[in-house]
Chains A and B, each alone.
Chain A
Amino acid sequence: MSGLAKLQQQFMDLLQGESSDISEQIAQQGQLNTQQRLSIYQSAYKIRLRAVIEQDHEQLGIYLGDDLFEMMVDGYLALYPSTHTSLRIFAEKLPDYLAANTPFSDYPILADIAKFERLLLSTFDASDKTLLNVSELESIEPQQWPTLLLKLHPSVQLVVFNTLAVESWQAIKQKQTPPEPRVSEPRFWVVARDAQRRTQYLSVDAQEYRLLSLLKQNTPFAQLCQSCLNELPGEKIAGFLITKINQWLERGWLISE
């Protein structure tokens, strides 16, 4: 290993909290000793990454409280050091960490809040597409409808939680007491940008969630209709779906392809 390679590895070992001989490489000078000089870099490393987690997961941090938040940061940093050039991605595995490591894994709502916050981030900077408008929809010939593939905007994300994660997140954001962290019936959510690029989230029922999931899978309109056969009389399905499609259109969830 070259001198440069050895020095850089020793420096990274120091930041990672591993055994390192870097102090032997540091010149003695001025009013600070070697340990003080190295500790500036050690502190900056943790402060910077901690700040990323705090910024990306603000409500989770409040929900956890200071002590558990610090425990989470230390644990996450040890297991998931940054392997990306962008800090935007650094905390991407935080939901996985919370779901798999005690004491956090004893409370599934924590991983769900973290996942919800990551979805908000993904929605915020998802790619831009031209939105589908009413006249485009109206210009579709009747014979084209069965094979019609409606496309969701890239910012539209679907998630199911069996906890009151979103309700708790919302309560914390509004500085209110969150509900008890009980396991709930499945709750279906859509996170998406609106036409003004504002990030929104909306509770939907199981049926709408299923329809949106089918759109994500590039399912043609005829199959959307078929998927409703157990829930609606046949003659009402098309009208029901047209109403839904118009709602999605107004929310800016459908794109023009």
Chain B
Amino acid sequence: MTNRFLGFGLGLRAPHFEQIIADKPAVDWFEIISENYFVAGGKPWHYLNKIRADYPIVMHGVSMSIGSIDPIDKDYLNQLKNTIARVEPHWVSDHLCFTQVGGINSHDLLPMPYTSEALDHLANKISQVQDYLGREMIFENVSSYLTYNDSQMSEWEFLAQLHKQTGCKFLMDVNNVYVSARNHDFNAMDYLSAIPSTAIAQIHLAGHQDFGTHIIDTHDEDVPDAVWDLYAQYAKTLNPVSTMIERDDNIGSLDDLITELEHAKALVKPFWDIRS
């Protein structure tokens, strides 16, 4: 179910709520940040209910902390489950990382070590979470600024192994791969081509800040040429995958984001059998 091609979507952000409801722009679907709707009501739900009447919605979480050594947070999962029941999303995603340790939340997507211990741990946690929610989830690769001495394999070998072990699918953030490739000096296509194409359920495209010596994944800029190039190259190797522009800061106009989305569509049109 999670591999269904929904087309080309955008992250749903508050500054665009009213325009989306009024103009019904040509966007195939929207992705919401799950935790933004862990509230009882008011404007967030008012707008979401109107928008979900016209568009498919998928949910994207930032706080599951699936890689954490802390036990599964049942309160969090209950809130997620309740939100899933209200939203009825096409799929639900979160990140392959840890955010919380010892009950303290960093609110950052901290990288895992690529070890067999971490693999077994993640496989066990993913199984627990999916059992609790009663549905499959998909998981996003995070960008990173460091790697660990203990790592026994590359990040892409780790993801491929996790897929083999659990069958879990991925939200591939092409920008994150690019950022990590620059920060850790590897070939981004080596990474992307190592993950079975059937394991890719969604793609994120985003911008970043390039400081020369390193890149910070900020999601506050237009998608840069290098990420577009990587996406186009990657798309050649895939069947159509639901693709989304993710902008979290310096959000700008909806029209600008739709222009970026049209660019994404134009790039992959030669390789994917999609209607314009």
Contacts and interface: CB of A to CB of B under 8 A. Distances in A.
Q: Do A and B come from one complex?
A: yes
Interface in B101-158: 101-108, 110, 113, 115, 117-118, 121, 145-151
Interface residues of A, number: 48
A86 to B, nearest CB: 5
Give the dominant DSSP class at A's interface.
Answer: helix
A24 B149 CA distance: 8
Contacts of B46: 128, 197
Given A4-B113, A5-B69, A124-B42, A83 B105 contact: yes
B146 A125 contact: no
A25 B148 CA distance: 5
Interface in A60-83: 81-83
A8 B68 contact: yes
Contacts of A128: 40-42, 45-46
B176 interface: no
A29 B185 contact: yes
A76 to B, nearest CB: 14
A178 to B, nearest CB: 28
Q: Which of A4, A25, A31, A128 has the most CB of B within 10 A?
A: A4
A127 interface: yes
A232 B84 CA distance: 52
A138 B222 CA distance: 57
A82 B65 CA distance: 14
A41 interface: yes
A174 B35 CA distance: 32
B63 A15 contact: no
B35 A126 contact: no
A11 B110 contact: yes
B43 interface: yes
A82 B104 contact: yes
Interface pairs A-B: 9 shortest CB-CB: A127-B40, A125-B39, A128-B41, A85-B63, A12-B101, A125-B42, A37-B146, A31-B213, A127-B41
Interface of A: 2-5, 7-9, 11-12, 15-16, 24-27, 29-32, 34, 36-38, 40-41, 44-45, 48-49, 81-88, 90, 123-128, 154-155, 193, 197
A25 to B, nearest CB: 5
B117 A32 contact: no
20 contacts: A4-B121, A8-B69, A12-B104, A25-B113, A29-B185, A36-B214, A48-B107, A81-B105, A82-B104, A83-B103, A83-B104, A85-B73, A85-B79, A123-B42, A124-B43, A125-B45, A127-B42, A128-B40, A197-B42, A197-B46
Given A16-B104, A41-B108, A88-B39, A125 B147 contact: no
A25 B146 CA distance: 10
A139 B106 CA distance: 54
A4 B121 CA distance: 9
Contacts of B79: 85
Given A30-B213, A37-B146, A41-B110, 13 more contacts: A3-B150, A7-B113, A25-B113, A25-B150, A26-B146, A27-B151, A31-B214, A82-B104, A82-B105, A83-B105, A84-B105, A85-B105, A86-B38
Contact of B108 (A5, A30, A44, A193): A44
Contacts of A4: 69, 113, 115, 117-118, 121
A12 to B, nearest CB: 4
Contacts, number: 138
Contacts of B151: 27
B33 to A, nearest CB: 10
B21 interface: no
Nearest to A199: B42
Nearest to A52: B107
B214 A9 contact: no
B44 interface: yes
B238 interface: no
A196 to B, nearest CB: 10
Nearest to A89: B38
B45 A8 contact: no
Contacts of A36: 214
A40 B216 contact: yes
B43 A41 contact: no
Contacts of A48: 107-108
Contacts of B117: 2-4
Contacts of B113: 3-4, 7, 25
Contacts of B149: 24-27
Contacts of B118: 4
A116 to B, nearest CB: 18
